[in-house]
Chains A and B, each alone.
Chain A
Amino acid sequence: MSQVHRSVVYEWLRHDKKFPHVWCPGCGLGIVLGSLVRSLVKSGLDRNDVVLVSGIGCSGRLPVYVDVGSVHTTHGRALTFATGIKLSKPELAVVVVMGDGDATAIGGNHLIHAARRNLDLTAIIVNNQTYGMTGGQYSPTTPLGSRATTAVYGHIEPAFDISALTATAGAAFVGRATVYHVVQMDHMFLRALQKPGFAVVEVLSPCPTNFGRQNVLGSPVDMMRDLKHRAVPVERWNAMTEEDREGRYPIGVLVDRELPRYLESFRTSCEIAARLRKEGKA
């Protein structure tokens, strides 16, 4: 992926009253923001044809910084708003930014149904393994045994694998990236934007302020290093033994497939309805 010049990124950001952003030092969301804007520029989309939708939480604040149509919705419901927007104006590129709690806890039902429907949406799920904005409570992706402000004796629930979940639910494209592997993340976002059907990118991102501090994971730099060491390209992952996989996860394109798409089926359905109506049968 060729470089997108900084000045272009600058143009895509909102400058009236919006910066500095709300995120903590060391947070990965700023990197996700930059990567998303670069991918949008790279995709060749017109700014007027992009709508960014988000839920609630640290990730929910992302769209307000980008100078496109942006909708900051209710907690967990971003995908439902996005569904309404996309169905109403299929020509728009609708990108949904969610956090792990947003997408898989309160919005879990919407996530699996959006994936099943295979509507042309791009879902970016920023997974920092905790509820950052509310102070570091455990989320559905908090690893077993780690600490959170609501799991001071150690977390006793197993974690969701967001990529596996959405792949099983029927997403056409599933990718995983980390904020350490920025170039790959840019690439993954671009692939997801270009993919017809429901495309998910799970982005692993550090939360040094809450998750890192409670689990004594060190400085933001240490947490970045941790991302680097744990992430394994999916090609290598496939050749690894169960033992080697312990504590690691694959990154890259995990699923890329052709499935019946909602919008196409809907158009066909409308044609049938209109024909039957014309013939007096509906």
Chain B
Amino acid sequence: MSHGASDAVSVSRFVLEKRLGKTKGDVHILPSPIDALRAACVRCSAPISPSVSVRRFRDARLKLHESPLIEKLKRPRLQVAPSGLPRDQRMDKTTMARPKPRLLQGNEAIGLGALAAGCNFFAGYPITPSSEIVEFMSRELPCNGDPFIQMEDEIASLGACIGASLAGRKAMTATSGPGFSLMQENLGFACIAEVPVVVVDVMRAGPSTGMPTNVAQGDVQQARWGTHGDHPAIVLCPSTVAECFDLTVTAFNHAERFRTPVILLLDEVVAHMREKVTLPAPETIEVIDRRRPTVPPDWYIPYKTDASLVPQLADLGDGYRYHVTGLVHDHRGFPTRRPDEVEPFYARLFSKISRNFGELERVQLDRSDDADIILIAYGCTARSARAAVRLGRERGLKVGLIQISSLWPFPRRSVENALSGKRFALVPELNMGQVRREVLRVNNGRSIILGLSKMDGSMITPDDILRRLAEVA
């Protein structure tokens, strides 16, 4: 069909005339304008390309204004979200409700996940490879009247987030290795003062400036032990863009539920990769909010807890005048050094997390049941490991995978189960063995633990894993 828009019009007129004997009249007997076009195409022996035809038909509709056909053409079009963002980035109820696949970047999915979880405060400082998150939030939050601020450094960013969280907001910041190092100080404050906050660390090759645009997984142990003093830590690590969204929501929920900072550890590949993702409908997303005091201000004892071990948190300025400090404090929030107050404080700080180890475990198994070789991987490396499982199986290797999405607390029970009865386990990672160290810790003779470390700024490929398996199998 070589004709243009005007031809399309003439074709449809031709059909109408042929079928109805006249152009104007009982057009309503036509099932739809598209069918009219199709019929026309068939009659003219033209190749049928409905999308092209429809487009041409629509282009021509101005010329059709005198025809009753126009009524048919005025069918409601797909509702367009009131947003200038590219179609796949729009974030509001209309688009969220549509379970439609979208092409999303990992960093964008983090931003969308944060908004879905109720994030209404963001303070950040630009740093490769996490800057897209800062940019996304700077675009989205002011539209709802929520604060976004670019601070003078990462220390200030996390400080502002903690302040905002104390004032009742759900706060997040995002950074990469060098900024994450700066944040360790205030991360400790959020731990001891029990302030919910989400920190995204997109790992790049380090130490120091390292290779800002290259992938690495060197911050795994830093995320656990980075801030000084012994403390619990919750660290989540996605390996797909869809998981970026899910785990961001989970991170906020954990932060609010346990009153603790939660770290979302990405690597550069997952942060920058684009994938087709179908986001869940908003009504299906579970969002947890912190428990606020139910007693009148006079009765409120800020750090007094019930069986949950997580104290209720009042918003600053809501009539509950309490003290927040980075010093070890008693249940009223006031500094203390009395051993009989300090000891229970630390015990509770750890128990509120450790008693929920089971619930915090997030792993995905891939053909691990009948495997005699188990791969243990996380982040972008888990993607290669998944491919290696498939390719290995094709070559007759009985390989399985346990992908770790909750790095800390280390999912001990799942890893122990996965290790049992395996000939050996291979831990591929983009560092010198930071998770392998943990696997060795929980192994207790269950299996032989081997590592595959790569530190050249590139990903571990499925081939790398298969070659290593060939060496040792």
| Chain A contact residues, CB within 8 Å of chain B | 14, 16-18, 47-49, 51, 53, 56, 63-64, 67-74, 77, 79-89, 91-92, 109-110, 113, 266, 269-270, 273-274, 276-282
Beta-carbon contact of B156 and A83 below 8 Å: yes
B167: A residues at CB distance < 8 A: 84-85, 88-89, 92
Decide yes or no whether B166 CB sits under 8 A from chain A.
yes
Of residues 180 to 215 in B, which have CB atoms within 8 Å of A's CB atoms? 185-186, 188-189
Whole-angstrom CA separation of A83 from B165 in the bound complex = 12
A84 contacts B123, CB within 8 Å? yes
Additional A-B contacts beyond A67-B321, A77-B156 (11; CB < 8 A): A14-B323, A48-B317, A48-B319, A64-B334, A83-B156, A85-B167, A87-B164, A113-B152, A266-B147, A282-B85, A282-B143
Cα(A226)–Cα(B171), bound, Å: 47
- With contacts A69-B317, A73-B326 known, is A113 near B156, CB below 8 A? yes
Whether B160 pairs with A81 at a CB distance below 8 angstroms is: yes
Chain A residue nearest to B92 (CB atoms) is A277
Option from A47, A56, A80, A282 in Cβ contact (under 8 Å) with B159: A80
Say whether B135 faces chain A, with CB atoms less than 8 Å apart: no
Chain B, 305-328, contact with A by CB distance < 8 Å: what is the 0/1 string? 000000000011111111111110
CA distance A77 to B152 in the complex (A): 12
* Segment of B64-72, B76-84, B345-353, B461-469 engaged in the interface with chain A: B76-84
Alpha-carbon distance between A277 and B162 when the two chains are bound, in angstroms: 29
Question: Across the interface, do B317 and A80 meet the contact criterion of CB distance under 8 Å?
Answer: no
Residues of A within 8 A of B372 (CB): none
- The reply to whether B121 and A69 contact each other, CB–CB distance below 8 Å, is no
Q: Which A residues touch B152, using CB under 8 A?
A: 109-110, 113
Minimum distance in angstroms from A118 CB to a CB of chain B? 13
Q: How far apart are B153's CB and chain A's nearest CB, in angstroms?
A: 7
In the assembled complex, the Cα of A63 lies from the Cα of B323 at a distance in Å of 8
Docked-complex contact B83 and A269, CB < 8 angstroms: no
Q: Which residue of A lies closest to B145 (CB)?
A: A270
Kindly count the residue-residue contacts between A and B in the assembled complex, taking CB atoms under 8 Å apart. 161
Given A16-B332, A80-B163, A277-B82, the answer on whether A70 and B323 have CB atoms closer than 8 Å is yes
Residue of chain B at shortest CB distance from A92: B317
Chain B residues whose CB sits within 8 angstroms of the CB of A273 once the complex forms: 142-143
Q: Assuming the A-B contacts A69-B316, A84-B162, are A47 and B321 also in contact, with contact meaning beta carbons closer than 8 angstroms in the complex?
A: yes
B82 touches A85 (CB 8 A): no
Taken together as a complex, chains A and B put the C-alpha atoms of A16 and B332 apart, in Å, by 9
Q: Chain A contacts of B185 at CB under 8 A?
A: 74, 77
Chain A residues within 8 Å of B137, by CB? none
Please tell me if B335 contacts chain A, counting CB pairs below 8 Å. Answer: yes
The minimal Cβ–Cβ distance linking B255 to chain A, given in whole angstroms, is 15
Inter-chain CA distance A277–B91, complex, in Å, is 11
Q: Which residue of B lies closest to A48 (CB)?
A: B319
- In the bound complex, do residue B317 and residue A83 qualify as a contact, i.e. CB atoms below 8 Å apart? no
Question: B387 at interface (Cβ–Cβ under 8 A)?
Answer: no
Q: Find out whether the CB atom of A80 lies under 8 angstroms from the CB atom of B151.
A: yes
Q: Does B323 lie within 8 Å of A88, measured CB to CB? A: no
**Are A84 and B163 interface neighbours, CB within 8 A?**
yes
Question: Contact between B325 and A270 (Cβ–Cβ < 8 Å)?
Answer: no
Q: Are A280 and B82 in contact, with the CB atoms below 8 A? A: yes
20 A-B pairs (CB sep. < 8 Å): A17-B334, A48-B318, A49-B317, A51-B317, A64-B334, A68-B321, A71-B166, A73-B162, A77-B185, A81-B163, A82-B163, A83-B159, A84-B164, A84-B165, A85-B164, A88-B121, A274-B142, A274-B144, A280-B80, A282-B83
| A69-B159 in contact (CB<8A) | no
Contacting residues, chain B, for A91 (C-beta < 8 A): 317
Q: Which residues from B are CB-within-8-Å of A86?
A: 163
Interface size on B, residues (CB 8 A): 55
CB distance from B196 to the nearest CB of A (A): 13
Q: For residue A84, which residue of chain B has the nearest CB?
A: B163
Q: Which residue of A lies closest to B317 (CB)?
A: A92
State how many angstroms separate the Cβ of A116 from the closest Cβ of chain B. Answer: 9
Closest to A64 in B: B323
Q: How far is the CA of A49 from the CA of B319 in the complex (A)?
A: 8
**Which residues of chain B in 329-358 are interfacial with respect to chain A, using CB atoms and an 8 Å cutoff?**
330, 332, 334-335
In contact, A87 and B160 (Cβ under 8 angstroms): yes
Q: Which 4 A-B pairs have the closest CB atoms?
A: A84-B163, A80-B159, A84-B160, A88-B167
A65 to chain B, nearest CB (A): 10
Decide: A85 near B166, CB < 8 A? Known: A269-B142, A281-B84.
yes
Contacting pair A280 B84 (CB below 8 A): yes
Smallest Cβ-Cβ distance to A85: which chain B residue: B163
Q: Contacts A73-B159, A81-B160 given: A87-B324 contact, CB under 8 Å?
A: no
What are the residues of chain A within 8 A of B171 when measuring CB–CB? Answer: 84
Check B324–A70 contact: CB distance below 8 A: yes
Q: How far is the CB of B470 from chain A (nearest CB, A)?
A: 51
Q: Which of B153, B320, B332 contacts A17 (CB 8 A)?
A: B332
Is B169 among interface residues, defined by CB-CB distance under 8 A?
yes
**B112-167 at interface with A (beta carbon < 8 Å):** 121, 123, 139, 142-145, 147, 149, 151-153, 155-167
B149 — nearest CB in chain A belongs to which residue?
A87
A277 touches B143 (CB 8 A): yes
- The interface residues of chain A lying within 8 Å CB-to-CB of B153 are 109
Complex Cα–Cα for A266 and B141 (A): 12
Tell me which residues across on chain A come within 8 A of B80, comparing CB atoms: 280
Kindly list chain B residues whose C-beta atoms are within 8 Å of the C-beta of A83: 123, 149, 151, 156, 159-160, 163
Shortest distance from the beta carbon of B325 to any chain A beta carbon, whole Å? 4
B379 CB-CB contact with A under 8 Å? no
Closest residue of B by beta carbon distance from A273: B142
Q: Does B178 belong to the interface (CB within 8 Å)? A: no
For the complex, is B168 an interface residue (Cβ under 8 Å from A)? yes
Name the residue of chain B whose CB is nearest to the CB of A63.
B323
Taking a contact as CB atoms under 8 Å apart, the answer to whether A74 and B143 are in contact is no
Q: Which residue of B lies closest to A49 (CB)?
A: B317
A282 touches B139 (CB 8 A): yes
Evaluate contact between B186 and A77: CB separation under 8 angstroms: yes
Look across to chain A and name the residue whose beta carbon is closest to the beta carbon of B81: A280
Residue contact B82 to A278, C-beta cutoff 8 Å: yes
Q: List residues of chain B with CB within 8 A of the CB of A277.
A: 82-84, 143
Bound complex: CA of A269 vs CA of B138, how far in Å? 11
Partner of B142, one of A79, A82, A89, A270: A270
B195 CB to nearest A CB, Å: 10
The answer to whether A80 and B325 have CB atoms under 8 Å apart is no
Residue with the highest number of chain A CB atoms closer than 10 Å, among B160, B169, B185, B325: B160
**Chain A, residue nearest B152 (CB):** A113
Q: Is the CB of B317 within 8 A of A74?
A: no
Please give the distance in Å from A45's CB to the nearest CB on chain B. 11
| Nearest B residue to A110, CB-CB | B156
Tell whether A88 pairs with B163 under 8 Å between CB atoms, given A71-B316, A83-B156.
yes
Partner of A72, one of B163, B320, B325, B332: B325
